[in-house]
């Protein structure tokens, strides 16, 4: 049993999501950014449209090991508002075959450097979003370039075309998603290219993979953090409590925001831990 899905980027162009759904597509992943080199131009329109069409949505980061990890993750998380019912974020770890002028330099790294950078980006995405990411990769790339089973506790999205039984590398026992066709043209509702995928399980299992709401705390990045900062700033202005002001709302839960949250919690006789639970009025204001 499997569930059909797609993944898209700006190469997919202007998508009719209702038509896509009518073709039996139950989930869609959209690219947010290609390292720090490029923000996907259509993500901002795809993200709400996927949900509106009743398709389960997810977002992915194309990781470029030649670039600074934290900048890539910041670029990813700052525009991504993951909500309950969305799929976990994905880190795309593969050779860059599409932009030879922007070499991603996997071959320039030692084995230790490769593993360290993969570890860092996976950890950074989890800290920034609150969700353990899924790894996307191909069997040949992983076996030739990465050569480790260290990350087998992450869910796997395997890219292996034109087969129903993908090769599973890296110590994984099974795959969660299978990308079985790449750069397809002519799919109803999609004027550009699209990749075809299957979830390895039933629709109920896919829905069970979707995420809950998580607390906001130091390290988180994104629109929810920015809303929290804006709320704190307004409460500070309305109550004349300058200590509630986190500074300029930038969507990054840093020390200044934590200090402001703790001040608010102390003033309101709450547990002063700097963590904003999903049900807290600061988070839902």
Q: Which residues belong to the active site?
A: 7, 94
| Phi, psi of 117, deg, nearest 5 | -75, -35
**What is the DSSP code string of 247-262?**
SS--SB--HHHHHHHH
According to DSSP, the residues that pair with 181 across neighbouring strands are: 196
Q: Which helix (H) or strand (E) covers residue 45, if one does?
A: helix 43-52
Structure tokens at 44: 């901002």
By CB neighbour count within 10 A (0-12 exposed, 13-18 middle, 19+ buried), where does 248 fall?
exposed
The span from the CA of 29 to the CA of 50, in Å, is 9
Taking alpha carbons only, the member of 14, 23, 38 closest to residue 99 is 38
- Positive or negative: CA dihedral 153, 151, 8, 51: positive
Pairing of strands 134-137, 90-92: parallel
| Calculated CA dihedral for residues 28, 71, 80, 238, nearest 10 degrees | 180
According to DSSP, the residues that pair with 199 across neighbouring strands are: 3, 177
């Amino acid at each position: 049993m499997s569930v059909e899905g797609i993944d898209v980027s700006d190469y997919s162009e202007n998508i009719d999501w209702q038509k896509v759904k009518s073709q039996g597509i139950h989930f869609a992943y959209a690219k947010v950014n290609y390292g720090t080199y490029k923000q996907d131009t259509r993500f901002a329109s795809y993200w709400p449209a996927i949900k509106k069409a009743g398709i389960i949505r997810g977002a992915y980061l194309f990781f470029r090991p030649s670039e600074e990890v934290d900048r890539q993750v910041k670029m990813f998380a700052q525009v991504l508002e993951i909500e309950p019912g969305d799929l976990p974020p994905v880190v795309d770890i593969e050779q860059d075959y599409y932009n030879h002028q922007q070499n991603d330099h996997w071959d320039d790294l030692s084995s230790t450097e490769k593993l360290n950078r993969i570890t860092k980006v996976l950890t950074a995405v989890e800290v920034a979003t609150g969700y353990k990411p899924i790894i996307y990769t191909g069997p040949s790339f992983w076996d030739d370039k990465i050569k480790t089973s260290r990350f087998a506790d992450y869910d796997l999205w395997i890219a292996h075309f034109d087969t129903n039984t993908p090769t599973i590398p890296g110590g994984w026992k099974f795959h969660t998603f299978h990308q079985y066709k790449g750069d397809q043209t002519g799919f109803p509702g999609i004027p550009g290219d699209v990749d075809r995928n299957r979830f390895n399980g039933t629709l109920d299992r896919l829905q069970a993979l979707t995420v809950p709401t998580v607390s906001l705390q130091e390290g988180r990045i994104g629109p929810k953090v920015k809303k929290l900062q804006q709320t704190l700033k307004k409460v500070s202005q309305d109550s004349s409590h300058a200590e509630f002001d986190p500074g300029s709302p930038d969507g990054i839960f840093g020390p200044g925001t934590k200090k402001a949250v703790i001040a608010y919690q102390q003033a309101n006789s709450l547990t002063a831990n700097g963590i904003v639970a999903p049900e807290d009025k600061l988070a839902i204001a």
